[in-house]
Chains A and B, each alone.
Chain A
């Protein structure tokens, strides 16, 4: 298993790269790169947490971005009311996510398949409109967070490098946790319930309880990502909960490959780097072809990204991870 396959080399290289981003950034003075990758690492946490229920549990949630918003608003509202201590903010945010996941999960798990996708979407939409209606906290325009979570003298989240490593550490922790869960007895039940729920029930497992627990764990992990995101952008608005954000998270997981714990990390990196890099690539190619700078073409990066996603679905089943596996098999 520990063989030096193409996939393992790529994954190892990616993790090494992620670990060294701040070093490179400091050396070249390219702070933008670090800001971009902080965002990528944070959203990768959300994608990994989604994949726990979606890839391993077969529970496709189309409302996962709700947790980004709930946790973000918990941090933002507490900060707005003068509570800056991270020791208060973080547990409150995670608890709020757990509660939301517990209630919506218990109701959603009564349904199956596409109905499950849509009921999770419905709950996320409800929270989205709650965010829109929070007049005291900026409503549609969002809420600026003037101070990042304060951990006394322990950790200074306002330092970009420190913050990056905090996020990276949490990503590694999340991946480790999900990996442990998936390979535990609990994880076996969850995976069993995905492949054949009726059989698992017949064996005598109370699958509902297992699935609900898994749903709550994923919600809390995504809440962690939401806390970090709010701290990263110093801002929270209903837009982070829009259904297209939930769609983005699904895209990351499917693009990277849902079969493994680290697949969504690759998906998050691929999607967000493409979003950032395609405009530049288009203008460079455009200049090469037409011989003059084409500024306007930059805007149309989605014209390429869209069909690209379609091609991945059509020809690379199992996402990037599946593609790398295929190379090994030849």
Chain B
């Protein structure tokens, strides 16, 4: 039971982290209609920035703030220099172009930071355990990820649904020409949205960094998961991304923890220990395939374009 609570919380934490990554992806996808394979690179860049600034300043919080700003700037620069020209083009062009960016970023990071991974050590006040129930301890840092991600999700909801900028973003998603004709600087708006998505991806990267190592290509596998999330949730829907990322996080983590044991009830030990890890890795893709066959537009299809 204790293990189950812990794994569920881990799943929630992983899901919320995925949400940070997926929120930016789904915004860019839904509003600019851009397939961005380089989104994982921003996640990686964020983690590298955080590790570097932490080493420079010696403060974890300060490093995260600096890294957020730096990732925002990198994201906006990438949008202005390269991606802006890809809007309105075929999705395949996006795949090819951003695949090129992904290669570039991987190599760039290797050039600047070297091929070895970095680590981002936790400050001692976060490196503790916190009693969620009497007698049940959970790492403070993971709990903090959950809190921060939930706060960011709420903030994002408020910005998109309750502010003028959010209104413009939603308007830009439904009719680009119209909002341009009304005198809104749509280019600036898009750059802002892309920067926001980049900062969110960077935040996910730097929060994951103390748990895993900071290394080249760290964004590639999680990027595919983020794509799974936005497809399950329905492209362009932040609400869908939120539900789907928690779903994916829980299924993945809990599946990995318990599926091998469950299989042992039906199969021989040897067969279960072989099939278990494979099946739990496949589980998410299986869920996604089933959901797409059942609802070809995802769980929460954004209003039709």
The chain A residues found within 8 Å of chain B, CB to CB, are: 54, 60, 62, 107, 110-115, 117-119, 121-123, 125-126, 129-130, 132-133, 135, 243-244, 247, 250-251, 254-255, 258, 299-303, 305-310, 312-314, 317
- B129 CB to nearest A CB, Å: 33
Q: Is B92 within 8 A of A254, CB to CB?
A: yes
For A302, give its contact among B92, B103, B228, B235 (CB under 8 Å).
B103
Chain A residues contacting B285 (CB-CB under 8 Å) are 122-123, 125-126, 129
- B18 CB to nearest A CB, Å: 15
For B100, give its contact among A62, A121, A132, A305 (CB under 8 Å).
A305
Chain B residues contacting A115 (CB-CB under 8 Å) are 231, 292, 296-298
Q: Is A250 within 8 A of B96, CB to CB?
A: yes
CA distance A132 to B89 in the complex (A): 36
Chain B residues contacting A114 (CB-CB under 8 Å) are 29, 35, 91, 231, 235
- A239 CB to nearest B CB, Å: 13
Q: Answer whether A314 and B231 are a contact pair too, CB < 8 Å, given A110-B296, A306-B104.
A: no
Chain A residues contacting B296 (CB-CB under 8 Å) are 110-112, 115
In the A-B complex, the 4 residue pairs with the smallest Cβ-Cβ separation, listed nearest first, are: A133-B278, A306-B104, A309-B100, A306-B103
Kindly state whether residue B65 has any CB partner on chain A within 8 Å.
Answer: no
Q: Is B101 within 8 A of A119, CB to CB?
A: no
CA distance A187 to B106 in the complex (A): 40
Q: Is B85 within 8 A of A309, CB to CB?
A: no
Q: Is A129 within 8 A of B282, CB to CB?
A: yes
Q: Answer whether A119 and B292 are a contact pair too, CB < 8 Å, given A132-B278, A247-B95, A305-B100.
A: yes
For A122, give its contact among B86, B89, B228, B281 (CB under 8 Å).
B228
Which of B107-115, B118-126, B156-164, B168-176 has 4 or more CB atoms under 8 Å from chain A? B107-115
Query: What 0/1 readout, one digit per residue, does chain B (75-101) give for beta carbons within 8 Å of chain A?
Result: 000000010011001011101110111
Within 8 A of A (CB), among B106-150: 106-108, 110-111
Q: Is A307 within 8 A of B96, CB to CB?
A: no
Kindly state whether residue B70 has any CB partner on chain A within 8 Å.
Answer: no
Chain A residues contacting B89 (CB-CB under 8 Å) are 313
**Who on chain B is nearest to A125 by CB?**
B285
CA distance A305 to B111 in the complex (A): 15
- B219 CB to nearest A CB, Å: 12
Chain B residues contacting A302 (CB-CB under 8 Å) are 103-104, 106-107
Residue pairs across A and B with Cβ atoms less than 8 A apart, 27 shown, are: A107-B293, A114-B35, A114-B231, A118-B227, A118-B231, A118-B288, A119-B231, A119-B289, A121-B227, A122-B292, A123-B285, A129-B282, A130-B278, A133-B278, A243-B224, A244-B220, A247-B99, A254-B92, A302-B103, A303-B104, A305-B100, A306-B102, A306-B103, A307-B100, A313-B89, A314-B82, A314-B97
Q: Answer whether A309 and B99 are a contact pair too, CB < 8 Å, given A114-B235, A302-B104.
A: yes
Q: Is B100 within 8 A of A117, CB to CB?
A: no
**Who on chain B is nearest to A113 by CB?**
B91
Kindly state whether residue B274 has any CB partner on chain A within 8 Å.
Answer: yes
For A133, give its contact among B108, B277, B297 (CB under 8 Å).
B277
Chain A residues contacting B93 (CB-CB under 8 Å) are 254, 313, 317
Q: Is A60 within 8 A of B292, CB to CB?
A: no
For B274, give its contact among A122, A135, A255 (CB under 8 Å).
A135
CA distance A76 to B108 in the complex (A): 37
CA distance A310 to B78 in the complex (A): 12
Q: Is A117 within 8 A of B282, CB to CB?
A: no
Q: Answer whether A117 and B91 are a contact pair too, CB < 8 Å, given A107-B293, A126-B282, A243-B224.
A: yes
Q: Answer whether A303 and B107 are a contact pair too, CB < 8 Å, given A115-B297, A122-B288, A310-B101.
A: yes
Kindly state whether residue B209 has any CB partner on chain A within 8 Å.
Answer: no
CA distance A118 to B296 in the complex (A): 11
Chain A residues contacting B95 (CB-CB under 8 Å) are 62, 247, 250-251, 254
For B228, give its contact among A118, A308, A312 (CB under 8 Å).
A118
Q: Is B292 within 8 A of A313, CB to CB?
A: no
Kindly state whether residue B68 has any CB partner on chain A within 8 Å.
Answer: no
- A130 CB to nearest B CB, Å: 6
Chain B residues contacting A62 (CB-CB under 8 Å) are 95
Q: Is A251 within 8 A of B224, CB to CB?
A: no
- B117 CB to nearest A CB, Å: 17
Chain B residues contacting A122 (CB-CB under 8 Å) are 228, 285, 288-289, 292
Q: Is B227 within 8 A of A130, CB to CB?
A: no
- B242 CB to nearest A CB, Å: 19
- A289 CB to nearest B CB, Å: 16
Q: Is A60 within 8 A of B91, CB to CB?
A: yes
Kindly state whether residue B286 has any CB partner on chain A within 8 Å.
Answer: yes
- A141 CB to nearest B CB, Å: 15
Pick from A60, A130, A299, A303 the residue with the most CB of B within 10 Å. A303
For B288, give its contact among A119, A310, A313 (CB under 8 Å).
A119
- B123 CB to nearest A CB, Å: 35
Q: Is A300 within 8 A of B91, CB to CB?
A: no
Q: Is B293 within 8 A of A308, CB to CB?
A: no
Q: Is B235 within 8 A of A254, CB to CB?
A: no
Kindly state whether residue B275 has any CB partner on chain A within 8 Å.
Answer: yes
Query: 12 additional contacts, CB 8 Å, given A121-B227, A244-B220?
Result: A122-B288, A129-B285, A132-B278, A133-B277, A133-B281, A247-B95, A251-B96, A301-B107, A308-B100, A310-B100, A313-B96, A313-B97
Q: Is B85 within 8 A of A314, CB to CB?
A: yes
- B175 CB to nearest A CB, Å: 19
Query: What 0/1 readout, one digit per residue, does chain B (228-254) give for beta carbons within 8 Å of chain A?
Result: 100100010000000000000000000
